Amino acid sequence: MSTNPAVWSRRLFLSVAPALLEASRAQVDPIRVITRQPNHYHAWATLARCKNGHLVAAYSGGREGHVCPFGRIEIIRSPDDGLTWSYPQIIMDTPIDDRDAGIIETPKGSILVNTFTSLAYERILADTKGWDADRFERWQSVQRATTHEQRQSLVGSWMLRSVDGGLTWSPPYRVPATAPHGPVVLSDGRLLFAGKEHPASTRRAGVWESTDDGLTWRLLSWIPTRPGDETVHYHELHAVETADHRIVVHIRNHNKVNERETLQCESSDGGKTWSIPRPIGVWGLPSHLIRLRDNRLLMSYGYRRPPRGNHARISEDHGRTWSGEIVLSDDGTGDIGYPSTVELPNRQLLTLWYESKRSGATVVKLPDPPFSVLRLARWTLS
């Protein structure tokens, strides 16, 4: 990916109004792979910066592929703003597939990680024609470890909690919703979780709050649907509180017309009521939202159209409008996305996402390993 300023200016000029051009220019440093297990597939990461200055990333690791029975939740840490990273610590590994991992640090200093478990891999096991013997035996051995009833009892949305900086973790406990990047901290100390209700068959998206450091969650409100979207999945939500005391939520919308359009709704009463979701002119999935120190909002999201990569956009008016795209990466060839971003004290930004160089059954011959890795971009926004 080029970091030539002339290239950046040309790209942004095509998609950004002149008044927003300067505000949306960015310089991206060379992108790095930060995972250390090339024989495992890594996915659905979230990056957080703790009060002690350390970075912590949570993700689903130990995998063979996008859907498999081996997924587990791991974390890695960086004490130096992302220059070096620890070996992974496994914090949750059920006998079924443990997937998306969100992470936040609460005002009390607790670290919360959310995830959900899935049996979707059993649909793949129903048709193993063409499998090699080793793969078939690996997957079947997972099934032998539990009964059907035990596996069903593990399906759900979960949270883990650490009160010692991530050294030890509570057993997983159930939470009422799921979303890839998890809850956010509001200025009044509450935790707000915008997500899809579990079980997923209800199709409802809503907002829950916690006033006890993430131990329990109470429904605040359901997210309304647009006319015609009543049977559509609203999922993979994320929220941010604006400087003018509103809450903005982005939604991945699965409708038949444009299943990758990003919808946005807002609340001006702390999450009790919400506007009707509206499209914001962004094709991508899903959003991660943060408020920068200068009170601008930043959204980062995966872009799965050629050239595949990860993009960001800025809002100068508390989420009412968004700039044109800022291209963080454009060299993707396979499974990619779910970026999350943190701001460093020096105003640099770090964006983390997962990416595979596989394209279907073909392994693209690039320096990165064939399994999905976590890639990190350090960049500066004017």
Q: What is the pLDDT of residues 75-105, one digit of tens each?
A: 999 999 999 999 999 999 999 999 999 999 9
Residue type, 172: P
The reported pLDDT for the residue numbered 372 is 93
CA distances from 310 to 2, 329, 377 (A): 14, 5, 10
Instruction: Tell me: pLDDT of 20 over 50.
Output: no
**Percentage of the chain lying above the pLDDT 70 cut:** 88
Joined together, the tokens standing for residue 217 give 């969650």
* pTM, 2 dp: 0.91
227 confidence band (pLDDT: 50, 70, 90): confident
Cβ–Cβ < 8 Å for 312, 8? no
The reported pLDDT for the residue numbered 166 is 96
d(Cα 4, Cα 153) in Å, to the nearest integer?
53
Instruction: Tell me: pLDDT of 9 over 50.
Output: no
Task: Provide mean pLDDT across the span 340-356.
Answer: 97
Instruction: Tell me: pLDDT of 40 over 90.
Output: yes
d(Cα 172, Cα 333) in Å, to the nearest integer?
35
Whether the CA torsion 299, 305, 306, 309 is positive or negative: it is positive
The reported pLDDT for the residue numbered 334 is 85
Cβ–Cβ < 8 Å for 196, 237? yes
Task: Provide mean pLDDT across the span 236-261.
Answer: 88
Beta-carbon neighbour count of residue 9 at 10 Å? Answer: 12
> Whose CA is closest to 272, among 218, 216, 200?
218
Q: Identify the weakest region by mean pLDDT among 21-30, 187-196, 317-326.
A: 21-30
Beta-carbon neighbour count of residue 172 at 10 Å? Answer: 22
257-299: pLDDT as tens digits? 556 789 999 999 999 999 999 999 999 889 999 999 999 999 9
**DSSP state letter for 202:** G
223 confidence band (pLDDT: 50, 70, 90): very high
The reported pLDDT for the residue numbered 329 is 96
3-class secondary structure, 57: strand
> Whose CA is closest to 86, among 52, 51, 58?
58
The reported pLDDT for the residue numbered 163 is 98
State the DSSP string of 57-84: EEEEEEESSSS-TT-EEEEEEESSTTSS
**DSSP state letter for 253:** E
**Across-strand partners of 26?**
381
Mean pLDDT of the chain: 89
196 confidence band (pLDDT: 50, 70, 90): very high
Q: Identify the weakest region by mean pLDDT among 78-87, 219-228, 230-239, 342-351.
A: 230-239
**Across-strand partners of 289?**
299
d(Cα 12, Cα 255) in Å, to the nearest integer?
29
317 confidence band (pLDDT: 50, 70, 90): very high
24 confidence band (pLDDT: 50, 70, 90): low
CA distances from 133 to 62, 129, 130, 136, 139 (A): 20, 11, 9, 5, 10
